Structure 1
Amino acid sequence: QLDLIEQTKPRLQEDTVWYLEDVAELEKSDVAYPRAKAKAERHGTFISSYGSYGRHLRRSLMPYIPQGQGFGRLEVDLVIRFLLLALKRYGIVEQVRSGEVPGYQINPDALRWMAGDGRSRPADRIRLLDEGEIQPEVNRYFVECYRRFVDLKCVLEAREHTGQVSADDRRDREERFRTADLPLLFCSPTMELGVDISQLNLVNLRNVPPTPANYAQRSGRAGRGGQPALVYTYCAGRSPHDQFYFREPDKMVAGSVVPPRIDIRNRDLVRSHIHATWMEVARPDLGSTLVTAIDLTSQDGKLPLPVKEGLALELRNPAYRAAALSKADLLVAGIRDELLTTAWFHENWTREVL
């Protein structure tokens, strides 16, 4: 596959819609084995009398089996093996794995790609048991898209914008989005708060958000600065949550937003604020990465890793500790009544933290 892509790239221009993107991992063809799948196996396609194809094969051949002659799982498995050997003989499949039960792959040269008529699609005879059943129809939407593609005056391009996108790609997409060169982004629910979304005038939500607060946050990205905007939401038919708000849209669109709450009696929260006050007073040089502050050469390697000795000495400066303690006392004094209702707070707790 890699060789084929490298050979094809020079023939495809990257400034058109017909080109292959650089992807980290290509989808690879699978290997078929004429046997049942073992419990520990994770890769491969397994064809046996236990599967749907084995059952289909048995149904198809039963009318030709002499009466009284057995045709059970063992016989079906033998037929499957002989079929693959015959396909190999005529060059339709290739043996790519050896062993007691070899593995096979389809020979790419044996494939013929033919355009359909746009009216019907081949029936899956493994799942459709009766020849007289209704033939499956094609998806009319995509048929019309393919037929009208040549008539389009422009091509709509859309890109992903989530935490899975690399930093370089994200910066490029944000810049193109700001200039409207890239008109459409598929984003995670919260999007990145630091993105300049410019004149965004359309938001499509793929499902109904959990609460009115989530709806306000996501839909509010459009129509900044008093500009008109359109926000529409898809309501899934099998989701009770979506269907409820489909019937009662006002409860989502104009619902009350509950202000966020913080439990100021949370010990970890108060401790982190006191530590932040200490860092604000000391203002140590932490560098641009954790490597400059954390000692990664610790002998035991146990967590938490220690702070580098030079930084630790700087933070232990008595003047910094006294200033941090003064600020911490003011902070604790403002919530003292709430802290006294807890079991962990006492008069010397702040000094123990510092």
Structure 2
Amino acid sequence: MNPFFKSEGKEKKLYPLLFSRYSGHDFICVELNCDDNTLIPIIPNKEFVNKKKEDIDQKNPDIRDFKYGYIVLDEGEEFWNTDYRDLVPSEWLNKQGSDLLPYYKMLMPHEIYFNSDGNFSFEPKYPIKGYYMPAKLRIDPTAHIVYEDSRTNDLTKLARLGSEGRSTATSVISYAVVKSLAEQGETVEDQKLLSFTDNRQDASLQAGHFNDFYATIRLRAALCAAVEKSNKPLEIFEIAEALYRSLGLKEKQYAIYPSNDEDFPDERNIEALKEYLKYRIFQDLKRGWRYTLPNLEQVALLELDYKNLDKLAALDDRFQNISFMANMPKEKRKDILKNILDYFRTNFALDHKFFKDIANNEELMRDRLSLDSVWSLDYNERLDKPSEMVITMPSPKPKGKFFVSIGQRSSLGKYINRCLMEERFEKLKKEEYEITLQSILKLLCDTNFLTVEKDRKDTNISYYKLRVDQLLWIKGDEKTIPLDHTRFNFQEGLKGLEPNNYFQELYKTDFSHFKKELVAKEHTGQISSDQRIEREEAFRKGEISNMFCSPTMELGIDIANLNIVHMRNVPPNAANYAQRSGRAGRSGQTALVFTYCSTMSPHDVNYFRNATDMVAGTVQPPRIDLINEELIGSHLNAFLLMNLEISELKSSAADILDLSNENKIFVNQDIYARIEHLCTINKEYFINEFEKITLSIVSELVDTTWFTKQWIEIKIKNSQYILQMHLLVGLECFKMPVC
């Protein structure tokens, strides 16, 4: 990014913007230059990091130690009147609780005044007023959120325009193109897109990314439809069957060995598919499993609740041993209990018979589900084992188990202490907290919400999991998004988050309108010739909807009914662009060619600004510098090989190599000696003849300072070594796979 632009002949500064993920307010990214009191524009990257807490004088912190941060403009909002001492955790306060500790006071918003030239002061010297907050952001006053965990990355709190990845953008665009073609009534054969990338690994990655994207949205759309149709909440024992019916897949779409008669499908194939669907639903209960694809719960299409939780919350006698909840309204009790259970769920601490037989379930899926289908495990994928929640971590940790702490310093521990303080109770110390939490966990175990297992060696340590059979899948109201109160300290006054309309509509899609599965494949030098021919034919028929290819598809392959070409990156030059764009519209029909330009690639950004140079650029004919010393040297080697007449070169490479030791391969000693002898006795002839031939073809060599008889003589002296190296390099190239 160029941090400056000219306006009316005067240079102005440009400041990057980020946006609160919860309030949408803009945060200006700056570096404070405290020497000349100016605001420097800075992109929030790896260098956008202030000193660590332990490296700062915490009693007398200096603003220079907090020079990287954000400015939010003061436009008269009410939230600037908030007393931040009421929001922060107690450990940020002094012993009296009357004020923030000096270090944490520096993390709070500070009034700052500045002008359009980037001059600033913490005194009201300039016309524009805002508030400065150092990075990492520990408080978002615009959303009334305190980020207690200092490890949380700022990009999980703030977003920026154009922050999507190239793979995600390509998958979303590719899906939208094929969907649009289907909606326009194009034939199944014409519902396709050809996408180019310069890197064959990227083509493979992109094909997998699209298939993953498609399978995820289709699965969620099926769940959304199943919940919509159900007249009651769905439970785990019903989920797999409901999804199976909602998807309406034919056996040949997922099975390795489908039945020839569709009316007689193999029951074991169906069982494998249902187990696979159930596993994917378990994964969707995780927090952040798909960072770029919010799940149904996060777009208000689904609500997850727990059986009998209302009943438990209403029973006062069950909470007599939990002091802060004893006299609490049942609605507040349910909120706390639900947040605790959600913490287990989103940490994948799940208990279900599926995981007790996980090895056999994985084997069933691999034996029955086709790797070529989107409805199967990936080649290297292993089923995730559930985590287990522990108050005290065991030492040593048992093998094969994954633990998540629910101790006092965990997100759950901080949440429970916040709940106590809201009810006017003192914050619990470690021992008091563990007693209170054990009382809550015992209640949830006794009422069948959680399961508990004692450590085999130390019976004082217990492992807790959530019983999945207590979960309820309920249709969402399309308006209310649940907030994660255990991990984030939300304060009252935060407006409800609005669901993402794009993903809401995406998950409501009726995929039966496509008349086919939207499959993506790669077309690169990594696959065999037979596979490439097979995929080209399937692409012509529309059986493959998205073909992601390296430059292998630039030349010599004709897809007559192709209307749309996409380029995942700007090609190296106009010649490549012409070849790739020329794949579309070859039968005279209207064609669309479009290119994705990444903000992180200078090459892409340049041609985004100067698109004509690429799209309508002049294709330069290939040129060779005929007086290049390296090129003439290669020709000399070829000249020598031709005149030395080594007969063994006319057959197998093995005939000229000593293969007695595979780790040290050399040219046969007798051939090497013959080359040396012939070069010695014919040296004068070789020098004169090569000079004569070369100058007759490239007369410009006369004007060079390096092309002399002496140069040719030196090259011939080294020829035996050079020829050996060329032969060995050629052998290594022969061993390498084709690109």
Would you say same fold, with TM above 0.5? yes
Which amino acid in 2 is paired with 1:298?
N
With 341-350 and 157-166 compared, the bigger mean Cα shift is at 341-350
- Match for residue 152 of structure 1? 514
The TM-score, its normalising length taken from structure 2, stands at: 0.35
1:270 shift after superposition: 3.9
Does 2:662 correspond to 1:306? no
- 8 Å Cα contact 1:157/1:183 also seen in 2: yes
Q: Is it true that 1:186 corresponds to 2:548 in the alignment?
A: yes
Task: Give the direction of change, closer, same or farther, for the CA distance of 1:165–1:141 in structure 2 (3 Å limit).
Answer: farther
Q: Secondary structure at the match of 1:172?
A: helix
| Pair 24,253 (structure 1): closer, same or farther in 2 beyond 3 Å | same
The amino acid that maps onto 1:231 is: V
Cα displacement (A) at 1:88: 9.2
* Correspondence for 2:418 among 53, 57, 62: 62
Q: Secondary structure at the match of 2:361?
A: helix
Q: 8 Å contact 1:202–1:229 — kept in the other structure?
A: yes
TM-score of the two chains, using structure 1 as the length reference: 0.63
Structure-2 separation of matches of 1:337 and 1:128: 80
Give me the whole-angstrom Cα distance separating, in 2, the residues matched to 1:249 and 1:338. Answer: 41
Q: Computing the radius of gyration over CA atoms, which structure comes out larger, 1 or 2?
A: 2
For residues 271 and 10 of structure 1, the distance between their equivalents in structure 2, rounded to whole angstroms, comes to: 58
Do the aligned residues in 2 keep the contact of 1:92 with 1:106 (CA within 8 Å)?
yes
Distance 1:164 1:71 in 2: 60
Partner of 1:3: 360
Q: Whose RCO is larger (CA < 8 A, sep 6+)?
A: 2
2:585/2:591 contact within 8 Å kept: yes
| Mapping of residues 236-247 of structure 1, within 5 Å | 236=598, 242=604, 245-247=607-609
CA contact under 8 A between 1:48 and 1:76: conserved in structure 2? no
Give 1:61 shift. Answer: 1.8
CA-CA distance at 1:137 after TM superposition: 1.4
Q: Is 2:511 the counterpart of 1:172?
A: no
Once the two structures are superposed, the pairs formed by residues 127-276 of structure 1 within 5 Å of their partners are 127=488, 129-130=490-491, 132-135=494-497, 137-138=499-500, 140-141=502-503, 143-144=505-506, 146-165=508-527, 169-177=531-539, 180-188=542-550, 190-191=551-552, 196-199=557-560, 200-224=562-586, 229-236=591-598, 242=604, 245-258=607-620, 268-276=630-638
The alpha-carbon deviation at position 186 of structure 1 amounts to: 0.9
1:42-71 Cα offsets, whole Å, 9 max, x none, are x997745999x9246414423416866564
With over 3 angstroms needed to count, the CA separation of the structure-2 counterparts of 1:155 and 1:32, relative to structure 1, is closer
How far off is 1:221 after superposition? Answer: 3.6
Alpha carbons of structure 1 residues 101 and 176: separation in structure 2 relative to 1, 3 Å: farther
Deviation at 1:173, TM superposition (A): 1.8
| 1:82-129 deviation line (CA, Å, top 9, x unaligned) | 999999997658799999999979689668583753825544442472
SS in 2 for 1:298: coil
Contact 1:201 1:229 survives alignment (8 Å): yes
SS of match in other structure, 2:473: coil
Match of 1:340 among 705, 712, 718: 705
Q: Conserved in 1, the CA contact under 8 Å of 2:452 and 2:462?
A: no
| 1:117 match | 476
CA distance in 2, matches of 1:25, 1:113: 32
Q: Deviations over 1:221-264 (max 9, x none)?
A: 43458775321123446767655544543232112445555555
SS at match of 2:594: strand
**Paired residues, number:** 337
- Please provide the CA RMSD for this pair: 5.7
Deviation at 1:159, TM superposition (A): 0.9
Task: Determine the structure 2 residue equivalent to 1:26.
Answer: 381
Distance (whole Å) between structure 2 residues aligned to residue 160 and residue 76 of structure 1:
55
Report deviation, 1:149.
Answer: 0.9
106-115 vs 75-84, which deviates more? Answer: 75-84
Q: Give, as a single letter, the amino acid of the residue that structure 1 aligns with 2:380.
A: E
Q: Cα 1:168–1:99, aligned 2, differ >3 Å: closer, same or farther?
A: farther
CA distance in 2, matches of 1:234, 1:106: 45
Q: Is the alpha carbon distance of 1:3 and 1:253 closer, same or farther for their aligned partners in structure 2, counting shifts above 3 Å? A: same
Unaligned runs of 5+ residues in structure 2 are 1-357, 394-399, 721-739
